[in-house]
Amino acid sequence: DNSELVFVIETCINCKDHVWNTRHDEAKYQEFFTKVSTAITSRIPNALTMRNQIPKSYLPYDLYCNLIPNDDENVPFFQQVARTGSFEVSYKGLLIFSKLQGGYWPNCELVAQKCEAIVRDEAEGRDVSVHLAGSSPNKGVKKMRKTKPTAPPQQPVKQFVEQDQPLRQAEPVQQQQQQQQQQPAQQQSEQQQQDETPIMLKKGTFIQPKPQVVEKMKSMTKETNENKIVKVGSHLKSS
């Protein structure tokens, strides 16, 4: 039964409809289909090749999902909706060559050799995965070299030159005299604020207070003691 040795070749068609962005030549797809078919049948004389069609016995295979429904029992195949740029060779759901994956045209003799090996290994019950498209190298895919991250370019440092400040004009004599009169009063108020500011000491340190502060602390202590004596005396009298 030849249906058991059917090789499906999906090829791009109607290239004139998308030639504006793909530059596909449909004649080239037809040429490679003829070459691959001839190479396969020369190695497997009882094999068949179908272009953009699959036998209905191939329907259970997941690989063939781009099919046109066909309920006519007199037509023993399903028509495929060919994908743009495709040249895919398969057998019973096994993808042998894929132009969509590899990005290059097939070596016709190598593809025919793989087809023959798959038929032979399948009959002998051996693993056929080594002959599939997944184990084929992808030409034109170059490994990207790892490059060290480069530091962002530094912006040039702008140098600013300070402009000469304008000279201060001479102030009137009266304004200078007023400032001289205000300076002693301002200094006195600052001195008073410093005297009234409490002294904060750290542990283990000692600061000699100013004489004005000492006198003020003595007077405050004396007043406090006198108040205590008065309160105690009044308490004794009342008792």
Q: What is the pLDDT of residue 4?
A: 74
Q: Considering the chain, what percentage of its residues have pLDDT values greater than 90?
A: 53
Mean of pLDDT over the chain: 79
Which band of pLDDT confidence, cut at 50, 70 and 90, is reported for residue 235? Answer: low
| Whole-structure pTM value | 0.56
Strand-pairing partners, residue 49, are 7
Contacts of 32 (CB under 8 A, 6+ apart): 11, 87, 105, 106, 108
The domain locations on the chain are 5-131
Q: What is the pLDDT of residue 142?
A: 47
Topology, domain 5-131: Glutaredoxin (3.40.30)
Which band of pLDDT confidence, cut at 50, 70 and 90, is reported for residue 50? Answer: very high
Residues 32/38/39/43 CA torsion (nearest 10 deg): 160
What's the rounded Cα separation, in Å, for the pair 112 and 118? 10
Residue 91 has pLDDT above 90, yes or no: yes
Which band of pLDDT confidence, cut at 50, 70 and 90, is reported for residue 195? Answer: low
Which band of pLDDT confidence, cut at 50, 70 and 90, is reported for residue 138? Answer: very low
